[in-house]
Amino acid sequence: MQSMMKQAQQMQERLQQEIAQIRVEATAGGGMVTVKMDGKKNVLAVTIDPEAAGDAEMLQDLVMAGFNEAAKKVDEETQKKMSGMLGGLGLPPGLF
């Protein structure tokens, strides 16, 4: 039992390391706003096309959409990593 717990802890640590290394990029407004985010959902960079800067309300919407899309991509990548790692354990589908 202790061996299984130790193995599970090692897998969790490895998963956390892999998630931390995830890097995603999302765009909004046809590329007017680009958001880069890591696996812990820390924003690494935001690029705004100067054309979008003229309309503050539109810019706010585009930035929000960019952040939301980047966060969604991080969630998808995290799920892929978890599925791959947990798939080898023989657990029932949908457990994680």
pTM of the entire predicted model: 0.76
Rounded to whole angstroms, the Cα distance separating 55 from 42 reads 26
Q: Can you give the pLDDT at residue 72?
A: 97
Range of the domain at 55: 21-86
Q: How many domains does the chain have?
A: 1
pLDDT in tens, 44-54: 999 999 988 88
The answer to whether residue 69 sits within a structural domain is yes
CATH code of residue 74:
3.30.1310.10
If you average pLDDT over every residue of the chain, what do you get? 87
Residue 54 in any domain: the answer is: yes
80 inside domain: yes
- In a domain? residue 75: yes
Residue 91 lies in a domain: no
Domain assignment present for residue 70? The answer is: yes
